[in-house]
């Protein structure tokens, strides 16, 4: 990965803490507040969904779970551009049973009709496997 050194941030310790016990971390905030840079500071690999790379678009069209492969923690930047990734990440975290797998960053929320579920509140038709 590229050198992304920057000044330490107040959020760095909490990010490390969460990645030490949880399979994933979601960083949300307004545009240009440092979500991606914070994620990069803690990630071992990354995929940026708004990069415009044709291979990213092809993977999203074929099987979004293909983008989950990589060294962990894996940063998925602008995840809301592919809302199906939410459930794919959740299922992968459940399958791997290991902390520090994914960091998701996004500056806007997916459409209200996007299917995403934590598993804890699964209901019939929600699209996830509780």
> pLDDT digit string (tens) for 21-47?
999 999 998 888 889 999 999 999 999
pLDDT at 99 (0 to 100): 98
pLDDT digits (tens, 9 = 90+) for 8-21: 888 889 999 999 99
Percent above pLDDT 70 for the chain = 78
Residue 67: per-residue pLDDT: 95
Q: Taking 80 as the threshold, does the pLDDT of residue 114 lie above it?
A: no
Report the pLDDT value the prediction gives residue 55, as an integer from 0 to 100.
93
Distance CA 104, CA 100 (A): 11
| Mean pLDDT value across residues 55-74 | 94
pTM, full prediction:
0.78
Residues forming beta bridges with residue 46, ordered by sequence position? 75
* Closest by Cα among 88, 89, 85 to 110: 85
Q: CA quadruple 1, 15, 107, 58: dihedral positive or negative? A: positive
């Amino acid at each position: 990965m590229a050198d992304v050194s920057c000044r330490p941030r107040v959020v760095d310790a909490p990010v490390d803490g969460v990645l030490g016990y949880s399979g994933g971390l979601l960083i949300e905030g307004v545009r240009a507040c440092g979500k991606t840079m914070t994620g990069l500071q803690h990630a071992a690999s990354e995929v940026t969904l708004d990069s415009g790379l044709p291979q990213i678009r092809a993977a999203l069209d074929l099987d979004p779970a293909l983008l989950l492969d990589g060294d962990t923690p894996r940063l998925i930047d602008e995840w809301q551009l592919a809302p199906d990734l939410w459930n794919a990440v959740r299922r992968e975290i459940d399958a791997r049973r290991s902390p520090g797998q994914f960091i998701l960053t996004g500056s806007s929320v997916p459409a209200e009709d996007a299917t995403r579920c934590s598993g804890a509140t699964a209901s019939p038709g929600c699209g996830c496997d509780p």
